[in-house]
Each structure stands twice: as structure tokens, then as C-alpha cells.
Structure 1
Amino acid sequence: MTIKCESELNSNAHHSSFIFPHTKSILVCSYEVKENPKPRIPQEKVKEIPKNKNITNFESSVKQNYVKLGYNYLMSNMYLFVFFLLFIPLFVALPSLIKQHLAQLWNNNNNNNNHFPLESLLTLLVFLAMTLFLLVSRFRKKVFLVDFACCKPNPSFRRTKATCMDRVAQCGTFTQQSIEFQKKLFEKSGVGDETYLPDSLIDVPSNPTIEEARKEAEHLMFVAIDELLAKTGVLPKDIGVLVVNCSVFNPVPSLSSTVVNRYKLKEDIVTYNLAGMGCSAGLISIDLAKDLLQVRPNVYALVISLESITQNWYCGNERSMLISNCLFRMGAAAILLSNKRCESRRSKYELVHVVRTHKGANDNSYRCVNQQDDETGRCGIALSKDLMAMAGEALKTNITTLGPLVLPISEQLLFLVVLFGKKVLHMHKIRPYVPDFKLAFEHFCIHAGGRAVLDELEKTLKLSQLHMEPSRMTLYRYGNTSSSSVWYQLAYLEAKGRIKRGDRIWQIGFGSGFKCNSAVWRALRNIDPNEEINPWMGEIHKFPVNVLQVSPIGMPNTG
């Protein structure tokens, strides 16, 4: 989700809080921050301060880091220690117990005694239960990501921010205040000058018809699918499951039917078309495909995530509905999944976890992102003042569910200790412990909804600039491509040659409803960028770039 609006903050931060529900603003378009003057220290007081009082003790900091690393290593291997401690004596004694019971059974049989020892029966049942459990857990169908492709639209669709501002000025429906507001959004958005918009929005007058919207959607889908089929060599007739998600453009016939018609997919294919689920719908599609692959053996599942911009350009003057004009851009991704064991050799990733959080039962969450008409009858997507608080609650719930699945035992114990101190011992002065997710993942693909969202997540999860680089560069180069943005980020990591076998990747998306969804992948092989075809190739050497906090653009001529 992308959220930006005017607000006043009472702190020195340059953006509003994304994680903490107590934040009273949505996001920042333009505001002034007044810093309190630093108090002057009397000269006699300065003399009393020891020389090294204000110098950070780096030696102590390094020692603490090594202590924590050692603690994490010890706790991560605690399972092995417990296993050896508890089960080795059992395994040592098991042969003698079996021998004893077999001898007893033999003697009972020779003595014509029909009594069956209860201990033998229990031992047999436990053994059979353990065997059955191991068999069931082993034969759970694994879901492999064979490959994926992201659409790089035709160069004729490339637009600079200045071009977009000229279009805003020529629209004829915006007030001067709305034009200036959108200009500030463009300048602070973190979006670059090489993003893509359809011709139907740039033309004057605009032509946002269903026909133009369908042309845009078909271009995005077909470019991505053609590239994916060429990379994998999979024939369209071999695809058994098709899932397409597009939030705000839902024509009849559906987009999934459009794909079936274009590629002449087989008649018994299972198709789904997800709509209205916002920027998190891409990971919902992955989860749906995963469930279908559990009950359909030896098939391929094609997932397509896109958003259509043509009919979603807002021409009114409600500030909460102007944000999408400045951030959303063309983009789509096609992902090929499979449950075939033979595909494990060439597949890139294995799906480990999908965690979905839906806060729609709460009225404020349900209404915080709402498609509606303004007072003049113009349609757009309105963002409420509760959006940031609701997003923070959804993220907190999602992380709480995901944490035990991925975090090492050391981080889980630290979290429980702090929670016990606050809830049971009422030690309210203890600061909440934020688990170190860098111990669980090597790479992070956070939905590129906007600069302020990424800034707050970087701060809250204590991520480095390197961890945030894929999200920031995707926002800069392609804008907010909605549900497909996490795939542009994964393509960025591949183009940089950073994906190694065994690496764990966390994809996280936010969407209307309000929803927060996570997907965890494990790399099955090293990814060689020289063998890859993705939207970053040919220009990856230009990145990362230094994105200015404010990127000025000239004021368009409205006269």
C-alpha cells in the first residue's frame, strides 16, 4: 500500500510512523519541522566532563555482538543437544527391550498361553505411530518456483515526472492547490524518471475506456508470460492451474479467460481471477496455487500479478484520493510453480511458508482503503486517517505468527523473557523486544508502497541499507507496481548475483481489507546473473543510485 498525505508531526522525524498504532498522521507530503535550539553548556561544566565521556565504546559494542552471536549459535543447536540427551538412552535400551518382549512372546506361545503382553502392544503401537508420522511428513508435496518473469513495458510508455506533471496541469479539472500538492508528492515520492504509464492517460484528452484498459493489461501479461515460457521451455498445454490477480480492473470475460484464449490452454485447466485484494494479492495468489498443488499431482501452476492504471487516474480534488496518481505505475509478473519432484533440479526456489493476516473484522481496518466517488462523482481510492494504525496492527499480527516459524530459538526465548517481564512481572519500563529477523533471512523483498513506509520498516526491523536496496531501487526505477513489486525486487537480487543456494527470502505485502501477507522462499541453487533474463539486465550496473529526499521538478505551465 502506498500512503501519503499532509500532516503535522510533533517530532523531528521527516515521516510518520508506519508500525506504531499511536501515530496520528497518515504520511507526509509537505510539512515543516522546527527543532528546539540546543541548550548552551556553561564553560565550567564543559571542563568537568572527562575526555572520553562522549566517545562510543566500540570495543564493548563489538564484544556484546560476539556474545550475542555465540548465544544465538548455542541456542540454534539446542535441538541437537536435547535430541542426544533424551533419545540416545532410549535407542540404546530399545534393542534389549525388543529382545526381551520377543522372548516373552516366544515363551508364551510355547506354553500355549494366549495372553498378549500389554507392554508389547504399547511398544508396537508407538513404533507404528512414529513410522506413520515420518511417512506423512515426508510425502507432503513440496512446491517449487521453477522460474518467474517481470514485464519491462515498451519504451514508448516511459514517462518522466515532468511529463506527468504536465499531464496534471493540462487535465483541466485540478485546482491550483491540487496541482501543487501532487507536485510535492512527485518530488518526495522516491519515484524516478523512467517509470511507465499507458498512452491513454498521457493523451489530452485522456481516453480511459475499457478497451484501452484491456490493451494495457494484455500488454503487461503477455510480455511477462512470453518471457517465462521461453525461459522454462514449458508448453502452454502442460499448465494445469492458472491464477490471475488484478485489483481494480475486472472485465468480462475475465483476465484469466484472456490468458486461456491467447495461449490456447487445455479445457480442464483450473482458473481463478482474484480482484479487489490490493497490493498484497500477489502473495494470496501464491498461497492459493500452493493449496491447489497439494491436491493435484504433477502439474504446473501459472500465477500472474498485475495492476491496470488506465481507469484509475483520479481527476478530482480530494487529497486523500490523489496519491495513486503520483506513485502507481505499470508492471506485472508471471510465476511458474510446480509440485513435480523432477523440477527440483532446475527450480530456483522452494516455498517454505505463507502467512496471511486479514483485519477485515475491524471496521476501521475494513474502511481504511476504500474505492468511492467524491462529491463531484469522480471515482478514486480514498485513504482514511486510520490507515497507518491499521497497517501497523496487521504487520504486528503477521510477524507474531511468522516469527515462531522462522526465528532461531535464541530470538524466541529473548522475546518470551521480555513478554513475561511486561505481562506477568509488570515491568512496564522494559522496552518491547523486536526480534532480529536478519538471523532468519538473508534477503528482504518489502512491497515498494512508498518511501515513508520503507523508511519506517527499515528502522523498526533494524535492517541495513543493503537489505532495503531492492525495495528502494524498485520504487525508484518502476514505481509502485502494486502486487508485482516484490517480484521486481527478487529480480533485482538475482541481477546483482546475491542469491546463493540455501539463502532465505522474505516477501511481504500490504493490501486493502486490511491485509498483510508474507511468503518465505529458500534458494535451491546459486543464481548466475549472466544466465538471467529479467527487467534489470542491461542497466543493473547503474544501481544502486542515490535517491534524493526531495527531487525538484519544474512547475508546469497551467496557462
Structure 2
Amino acid sequence: MDQLLAKTDLRPSDIDVLIVNVSMFYPNPSLSAHLVHRYRMRDDIRTFNISGMGCAAGMIAVDLASRILRVHRNQIVVVVGSENLTFGWYAGQDKSMLVPNCLFRNGSYALLLSNRRQDRARSKFELVQSVRVTTGASDASYNVIFTREDDEGNVGTSLSVKLLDVASKAITLNLQQLVPYNMPFSELTKVGLNYISRRFLKKELKAYTPDFRKAFDHFCLHPGGKAVVDGVGRSLRLSDYDMEPARMTLHRFGNTSSSGLWYGMAYCEAKGRLRKGNKVWQLALGSGFKCNSAVWKVLRDVKPDAVFNPWMDCIHRYPVEIMDRITPSHRYYNTIKEAEALIRLEEEAEEQRLVKA
């Protein structure tokens, strides 16, 4: 927050709306109230505190800010997001609940969104579209990421083996809303002809995956884990260059929850990739199960910020080659399905030993 105010030359009294999102930590008074008190903001400021929305909360906050700006004129909205690892730390022995301990790390971000005309000249991005999808009506989607107690009473978050399948379905629903408004006509035609051939002509064809690089120049995908990042990249047919921001963010910062997408955006800035007219697609996944995305248009050539960009002290070393290790623990944390199968085999072997005894 201090960096945002210094970078934008903004006073706390200039802020009209404050949106705070922290998934695992929700004190009373709220974190938004703490910020209002800390910075002595105006009495008529409108505040929102988002909690329990998982890694997709960042895009939810952006969508909320966008809807507010559509209704109210000459507004400044500040979005602040972070995560608290202490309340999400698991101290038990259930292996399916130990994965978050290894993936999640601390991270935070702050954004300023405005619809004032005088702010356009110095703005970096313009929000073109935001899409939100929630598949929580399904039992599988609802339970795939769940905070619960283990047999010993330790509270933690478990990840189901169905995570990749649930994520794939949520992404498909999100793309059904996103693609028609962003894809060129040539790609939409290919999608339509493929659908007609499969549905009405009964041809045995695979569903056509459009070339997303014809619609977007840069991709900031949710760095939720190696298996998730690689799976999404394969399904969208993205190149190593396109996947680089997500992979390098996961490599250096880990899964920082809702702020992970913005570390990916900062990576693109540090590399000098963002040019005027480019389109950036952010895709976030979160518990519930949610898939949210945002499309940004770059308004000017974005130069790397030597002071506030978190990558500037090491960007010269990236990208790095990420090796696939073969240790059992590494395979477990990156391939949940293999790990669960191994656990089941160990449990069955233990039960057989007990029966024989």
C-alpha cells in the first residue's frame, strides 16, 4: 500500500473505494477497517472485505472494482490482496493435506483502478473484459479443495485427486464466455465447423482448440502448482514462452494465492514484453470451484520499474531451466494422482500386515 501511494503520488484521502481480499485470515474489525484506520481515510469511503474465496479472489476483486466504476463516475478504487500462511498451516500427518504447506508462500499486491479522464494518460492497462465462473453446485467441485479437520483434530486444507478434472471443466465454461468476444473470426469459424462436424455430421473428430495466441499477446496463468500450470498450458496449446511468466513465478515465489497473477504480470514488465496495444490474459483458479479471468489492454509501452518491481534484482537470471526431479516427495507434490495411488497401496499393505498379525 505504501509503495502504491508513493508510485502514484496519491493521498489516502483521494481513495473513494477500498477492496481487500485475504482468503484465510478474517479478523474483527476487518482488514479493510485496519487499512482505513492506518491511513486515516475519509469517513465516506466505501470498503469491501473479501475472504474465503481462495486463489481466484484477485480477479473477483478486480471484477467488483470494474462494476463499481461502471456505475459511479470519477472514482478511484484501490484493491489490496495478500495471504496469511499461519492460519492455513497444517501441523498433522495426513499427506493429502500437507501439499499446501509446500506450495503456498507469502505474497501481496496493490492495484489502483480509476475512471477519471485525467488518469488515462498515465495508466498502464485498460480492463477490457472480466469473466467469472463458479461450479460449486457440483459436489466434486465443492469438495476438491476443502478446509477440514483430520482424524487428530488438526485443521488443514486437503486437495482431491479430482483437482485437474474439475479445473478443466471450469476453464472450459470460462472460455465459452471469453472466446466469442476476443477471438478473430477465422478461429471462431474453425470452432463452429468443428462443432457442426462432430454434432450433426457425426464425424469422429477431437474438439478444436483455438489458437489463443491470435487473440492475446501475453498470458498470466495461475501458478497453483507444476501439475496445474503444465496441464493448463497443454490444454490451451501454449508455448514455453507463453508459459514462462507462470512457471518462473512458481519457481521463485511459489503459490502466493491471489497475488500470483500479479507477480506474473510484473515478470512481463521486468522482461520489457508489454507494448502499447498488446492484450494480456489473466486466468485464476480457486476453491469453490472458481475460474476467473481478465483481459487487459496495454495503453503504453511499460518500462521495467527498478524500484517497485519484485523481479528487478534477479530478472537477469530468468528464465531458468526447471528440472523434473524423480524423488518420491517431489513426485508427490507435483503429481497428486500418483501420490494418492501410492498412499492407497501403502494403506492396503498395512491393512494386510495387520490382518496377518
User: TM-score, normalised on structure 1?
Assistant: 0.58
Q: Is the 8 A contact 1:239 1:269 kept in 2?
A: yes
Q: 1:473 aligns with which of 240, 248, 254?
A: 248
The answer to whether residue 51 in structure 2 is matched with residue 275 in structure 1 is yes
1 CA distance for matches of 2:327 and 2:150?
A: 30
Distance 1:517 1:316, change over 3 A: same
| Mapping for residues 496-535 of structure 1, pairs under 5 Å | 496-529=271-304, 533-535=308-310
**Cα distance, 1:394 vs. partner?**
0.5
2 CA distance for matches of 1:539 and 1:553?
A: 30
2 CA distance for matches of 1:252 and 1:494?
A: 37
Q: Secondary structure at the match of 1:345?
A: helix
Partner of 2:119 in structure 1?
343
**Cα distance, 1:387 vs. partner?**
2.3
Q: 1:540 aligns with which of 315, 330, 342?
A: 315
Partner of 2:4 in structure 1?
228
**Cα distance, 1:530 vs. partner?**
5.6
User: TM-score, normalised on structure 2?
Assistant: 0.90
Q: What is the letter of the counterpart of residue 186 of structure 2?
A: S
1 CA distance for matches of 2:205 and 2:134?
A: 30
The Cα offsets for residues 69-117 of structure 1, whole Å up to 9 and x where unpaired, read as xxxxxxxxxxxxxxxxxxxxxxxxxxxxxxxxxxxxxxxxxxxxxxxxx
% identical equivalent positions: 47
Q: Secondary structure at the match of 1:303?
A: strand
| Mapping for residues 57-72 of structure 1, pairs under 5 Å | none
Partner of 2:265 in structure 1?
490
The answer to whether residue 44 in structure 2 is matched with residue 288 in structure 1 is no
Q: 1:453 aligns with which of 203, 228, 249?
A: 228
Q: What is the letter of the counterpart of residue 179 of structure 2?
A: G
Partner of 1:432 in structure 2?
207
Q: Is the 8 A contact 1:244 1:256 kept in 2?
A: yes
Q: What is the letter of the counterpart of residue 245 of structure 2?
A: P
2 CA distance for matches of 1:345 and 1:294?
A: 19
Q: Secondary structure at the match of 1:529?
A: coil
The answer to whether residue 21 in structure 2 is matched with residue 241 in structure 1 is no
Q: 2:106 aligns with which of 330, 333, 351?
A: 330
The answer to whether residue 36 in structure 2 is matched with residue 260 in structure 1 is yes
2 CA distance for matches of 1:292 and 1:545?
A: 40
Partner of 1:303 in structure 2?
79
The Cα offsets for residues 338-392 of structure 1, whole Å up to 9 and x where unpaired, read as 0101111010000000000010111221121111101110000112233222111
Q: Is the 8 A contact 1:304 1:334 kept in 2?
A: yes
**Cα distance, 1:439 vs. partner?**
0.3
2 CA distance for matches of 1:416 and 1:353?
A: 23
The answer to whether residue 160 in structure 2 is matched with residue 384 in structure 1 is yes
1 CA distance for matches of 2:121 and 2:231?
A: 39
Specify every segment of 5 or more residues in structure 1 that has no aligned partner in the other structure, as ranges: 1-224, 555-559
Could you say which structure has the larger radius of gyration? 1
Partner of 1:409 in structure 2?
185
Q: What is the letter of the counterpart of residue 390 of structure 1?
A: V
Distance 1:335 1:530, change over 3 A: closer
Q: Is the 8 A contact 1:297 1:339 kept in 2?
A: yes
**Cα distance, 1:551 vs. partner?**
8.3
Q: What is the letter of the counterpart of residue 482 of structure 1?
A: S
Partner of 1:147 in structure 2?
none
**Cα distance, 1:538 vs. partner?**
2.1
Q: 1:400 aligns with which of 163, 176, 199?
A: 176
The Cα offsets for residues 233-258 of structure 1, whole Å up to 9 and x where unpaired, read as 01110000011111111111111111
Q: Is the 8 A contact 2:306 2:312 kept in 1?
A: no
**Cα distance, 1:320 vs. partner?**
1.3
Q: Is the 8 A contact 1:444 1:468 kept in 2?
A: yes
1 CA distance for matches of 2:232 and 2:154?
A: 33
Q: Is the 8 A contact 1:238 1:299 kept in 2?
A: no
Distance 1:553 1:411, change over 3 A: closer
Q: Is the 8 A contact 2:164 2:228 kept in 1?
A: no
Q: Is the 8 A contact 1:495 1:532 kept in 2?
A: no
2 CA distance for matches of 1:404 and 1:508?
A: 16
Distance 1:530 1:227, change over 3 A: closer
| Mapping for residues 93-132 of structure 1, pairs under 5 Å | none
Q: Is the 8 A contact 2:18 2:77 kept in 1?
A: yes
Q: Secondary structure at the match of 2:291?
A: strand
Q: What is the letter of the counterpart of residue 12 of structure 2?
A: P
**Cα distance, 1:532 vs. partner?**
6.1
**Cα distance, 1:400 vs. partner?**
1.4
2 CA distance for matches of 1:543 and 1:551?
A: 23
Q: Is the 8 A contact 2:142 2:289 kept in 1?
A: yes
| Mapping for residues 171-190 of structure 1, pairs under 5 Å | none
Distance 1:529 1:553, change over 3 A: farther
- Say what the alpha-carbon RMSD is for the aligned residues: 1.5
Q: Secondary structure at the match of 2:213?
A: helix
Q: What is the letter of the counterpart of residue 241 of structure 1?
A: V
Following TM superposition, where does structure 1 have runs of at least 4 consecutive aligned residues deviating by more than 6 angstroms?
551-554
* Bigger proportion of residues as strand: 2
The Cα offsets for residues 476-526 of structure 1, whole Å up to 9 and x where unpaired, read as 111100000000010011011110000000000001110000000000000
Q: What is the letter of the counterpart of residue 130 of structure 2?
A: V
The answer to whether residue 198 in structure 2 is matched with residue 422 in structure 1 is yes
Q: Is the 8 A contact 2:275 2:298 kept in 1?
A: yes
Specify every segment of 5 or more residues in structure 2 that has no aligned partner in the other structure, as ranges: 330-357
2 CA distance for matches of 1:452 and 1:368?
A: 15
Q: Is the 8 A contact 1:304 1:335 kept in 2?
A: yes
Q: Secondary structure at the match of 1:491?
A: helix
**Cα distance, 1:431 vs. partner?**
1.5
Distance 1:422 1:271, change over 3 A: same
Q: What is the letter of the counterpart of residue 515 of structure 1?
A: K
The Cα offsets for residues 421-470 of structure 1, whole Å up to 9 and x where unpaired, read as 1111111x112100110000000000100111111122121111111111
Q: Is the 8 A contact 2:20 2:31 kept in 1?
A: yes
The Cα offsets for residues 129-185 of structure 1, whole Å up to 9 and x where unpaired, read as xxxxxxxxxxxxxxxxxxxxxxxxxxxxxxxxxxxxxxxxxxxxxxxxxxxxxxxxx
Partner of 1:51 in structure 2?
none
